[in-house]
Amino acid sequence: MADNKYIVIIGAGWAGQGVIHGLGELPANAKVTVVDAASALPVGATWQYELEGRAAAVAVPFADTLVAPHLKKGTVHDRAGGMPRRAPRLDH
C-alpha cells in the first residue's frame, strides 16, 4: 500500500496561489486541498480606480486560477476565536 501525502492550504488568495505554484508537479500519491470561503481573487490595485470612479474593481474567479482543481469552498472556525485545535476533515 502506497503512503498517501495530504496537503491542505487554507486560503486561495495570493499566498495560496503561490503555494500551489511552488508545489510544482506532484507525485501520484499526493492530494492537495485548498479551502477558501471566497469565490474570486481580488486584484487590489484596481480598488483605487473604483474609489476614483474611473473603473470597477477587478476580481479573478478562482475557477480561472491555479487552485481550481483543488478548491473546496468553506472556512475554518474555532469556537474560541483563535487558531483551530484540529484541522477539519475535508471529504471529497
- So what's the pLDDT on residue 25? 87
Neighbour-count burial of 9, counting CB atoms closer than 10 A to its CB (0-12 exposed, 13-18 middle, 19+ buried): buried
pLDDT tens-digit readout, 5-15: 899 999 998 89
How much is the average pLDDT of 43-70? 84
pLDDT surpassing 50 at residue 1: no
- pTM for this predicted structure: 0.67
Cell numbers representing residue 52 in the block: 476614483
Q: What is the tens place of the pLDDT at every residue in 11-52?
A: 998 899 999 999 988 888 889 999 998 899 888 777 777 788
